[in-house]
Amino acid sequence: MAGSDTIHPFPAMRIGLLLYPNCLPAGLFAAMDLLHAANLRAGKPLFEPVFVAARAGKVECAHAQHLHAAIALEEAAVDALLVPGFWGQSLGQAARTLDASAGLVAALAALPRRVQLWAYCTGVCLAAATGRLDRQTATLTWWLADYATTSFPKVRWQFERTLAVNERTATASGVNGHLPIIQSLIEAKLGKEAYRELARLMVLPRPEERTHHTFHMLDLIEQQDAMLRKLHLAVERLPASEASVARVAAEMHTTERTLARKVLAASDMPAAAYIRRIKLRQVSERLIYTKASASTISIELGFSSDSGMRRMFKDLTALTPTQYRTSFSRLFICERAG
């Protein structure tokens, strides 16, 4: 920059850690620790993390935790901004949070184009709403995939990936999505061996198992609701051809109407679609962990026809059973490694 009053006062890369109402700040603290460790490893200040917000001052984060943002976003002069996720348990809640964050989205959209925008978990929705991800590859937490493709159709979503990095944007899935983003940054500045040393010293978590986002979404939603856990057990016991809403309701000793209402409220998904997804997850598990053919799996799980199962599976995952096994099978991975 020309002019002494506009020269960046810090030799290190200044990284804003964004605080906003209802955000999940744990990943920001973890990112700060990792960046500090990288500075120690380098023997010089490569990175300068700083907490920022739409306005400087106290911010009420998730779980009634209050944190202090030292600098307002528009005054922070950051080189990059890390946007964490927000607490949400349903698509409806995520949409409401996004609607309530219109001011923050506008502030993010107003950032200079030179500022790199990084986001993870549900925070990717905020980044997508700014338009900065349009025509960029991006990923997102699994259970928001349907919402994202509808709400932000200009983004090149690649939900099978846990990290998507572009020249000025980076997105990652999951509440620990800060980790692959910061890993990519440190590896670019210090090299992969330096990051491996930091990972060993800090005992960083191992990467999550590779499975399709659709089925991770089921696991996440199921954990939140006792009724859904009971539903999963009932559906898994039934042959696919008999797993109708009426039959499952009878198994659970409730009415079809009550079951449909409760499933929609808990998952933002019609009961029939939710039940079908549970059965297809069973197909996924057998493709991943066994060598049984798709036809055999179809028979074992009680689908009325092999072709029908294959069609439903591809409609849901965009992959044939063979392609899915090639991408995700533990046995296939072990055989290739051997």
How confident is the model over 257-270, as pLDDT tens digits? 999 999 998 888 89
Please give the average per-residue pLDDT across 106-132, as a whole number: 96
- The pTM is what? 0.64
pLDDT level of residue 247 (50, 70, 90 thresholds): very high
The residue out of 148, 181, 202 marking a domain boundary is: 202
- Annotate 25-38 with b (16+ C-beta within 10 A) or e (fewer): bbbbebbbebbebb
Q: What is the CATH number of the domain that holds 157?
A: 3.40.50.880
End residue of a domain, out of 202, 235, 254:
202
Structure tokens at 128: 């997508």
Say if residue 319 is in the same domain as residue 185.
no
pLDDT value of position 223: 56
What does the alpha-carbon distance between residue 124 and residue 117 come to, in Å, rounded to a whole number? 10
Is residue 207 a part of any domain in this protein? no
pLDDT of residue 266: 85
The β-bridge relationship of strands 13-18 and 47-53 is parallel
Give the domain extent around 70.
4-202
Tell me: pLDDT of 160 over 90: no
Q: State mean pLDDT over 313-327.
A: 92
Instruction: State how far the alpha carbon of 5 is from the alpha carbons of 74, 96, 113, 256, in Å.
Output: 16, 41, 20, 68
Same domain for 17 and 79?
yes
**Structural domain includes residue 208:** no
Which contiguous run of DSSP H or E holds residue 272?
helix 271-289
Same domain, 149 and 273: no
Count of domains forming the chain: 2
246 shares a domain with 170:
no
Residue 89, amino acid? Q
Question: Do 165 and 56 share a structural domain?
Answer: yes
User: How does DSSP classify residue 130?
Assistant: T
- Of 237, 239, 235, give the one whose Cα is nearest residue 227: 235
With H, G, I as helix, E, B as strand and everything else as coil, classify residue 169: strand
- Residues 150 and 298 occupy one common structural domain: no
| Mean pLDDT of the 299-326 span | 94
Q: Encode pLDDT of 30-85 as tens digits.
A: 999 999 999 999 999 999 999 999 999 999 999 899 999 999 999 999 999 999 99
Q: Where is the domain boundary, 169, 202, 235?
A: 202
- Based on the domain organization, do 261 and 186 belong to the same domain? no
Identity of residue 289: Y
Structure confidence at residue 209 (pLDDT):
52
Confidence (pLDDT) at 279: 95
Neighbours of 145 (CB within 10 A): 21
Residues 6+ apart with CB under 8 A from 42: 189, 190, 194
**CA atoms of 305 and 287, how far apart (whole Å):** 17
Contact 268, 294 (CB under 8 A): no
Please classify residue 227 by burial: count the beta carbons closer than 10 Å to its beta carbon, then call 0-12 exposed, 13-18 middle and 19+ buried: middle
Same domain, residue pair 181 and 229? no
Do residues 159 and 167 make contact, with C-beta atoms less than 8 angstroms apart? no
pLDDT bracket for residue 220 (50, 70, 90):
low
Cα separation, 122 vs 143, whole angstroms? 9
249 shares its domain with 272 = yes
Which of the four pLDDT bands, split at 50, 70 and 90, describes residue 215?
confident
Please check whether residues 114 and 225 belong to one and the same domain: no
What is the 3-state composition of the chain as percent helix, strand, coil, each rounded to the nearest 5? Answer: 55, 15, 30
Read off the pLDDT band of 297 (50, 70, 90). very high
Give the model's pLDDT for residue 218.
Answer: 72
Among residues of the chain, what percentage have pLDDT more than 90?
A: 66
Residue 193 pLDDT > 80, yes or no? yes
Single-letter amino acid, residue 293: S
| 198 and 163 in a common domain | yes
pLDDT at res. 205: 63
Taking residues 150-159, what's their average pLDDT?
A: 91
pLDDT at 162: 82
